[in-house]
Amino acid sequence: MPGLKTLDASNFTLELQRAGVALILFVDQWCPPWENLDAVLSDIASQYQEIILVGQVDVDQSPEIAVNQGIFDLPTLIFYQASQEVERLFGSHSRNTLVERLSHILQ
């Protein structure tokens, strides 16, 4: 079963370009809400595995990505389409909320 793809400075831009549509979690391992999102996003990754990229960036390991993407709050979820940000959410969200947002983007 696919899970979240780990993204860092070596693959972030390329993976966004390949994906078309992506949902990326920006997190730090000390941030408790990310644990809830991990299971939700793994489920979404499995459901949409042929359609979108679902990934995560550890901002401690890749601070340059966090700076370039304007990440100030954790966890942050960013939806991308054609490598461009289309929506940003902060904190933990339900699976239904995320799937609803994805459905809107995929239309």
Q: Dihedral through CA 71, CA 47, CA 13, CA 35, nearest 10? A: 30
Domain that holds residue 29: 5-106
pLDDT band at 1 (very low <50, low <70, confident <90, very high): very low
- Residue 55 exposed, middle or buried by CB count within 10 Å (0-12, 13-18, 19+): buried
pLDDT of residue 58: 95
Q: What is the distance between the alpha carbons of residues 33 and 80, in angstroms, rounded to a whole number? A: 21
pLDDT (tens digit, 9 = 90+) per residue, 56-84?
999 999 999 999 999 999 999 999 999 99
Identify the CATH number of the domain in which residue 75 sits.
3.40.30.10
1's CB contacts (< 8 A; 6+ apart) are 42, 46
Q: For the whole model, what pTM was predicted?
A: 0.94
Number of domains in the chain: 1
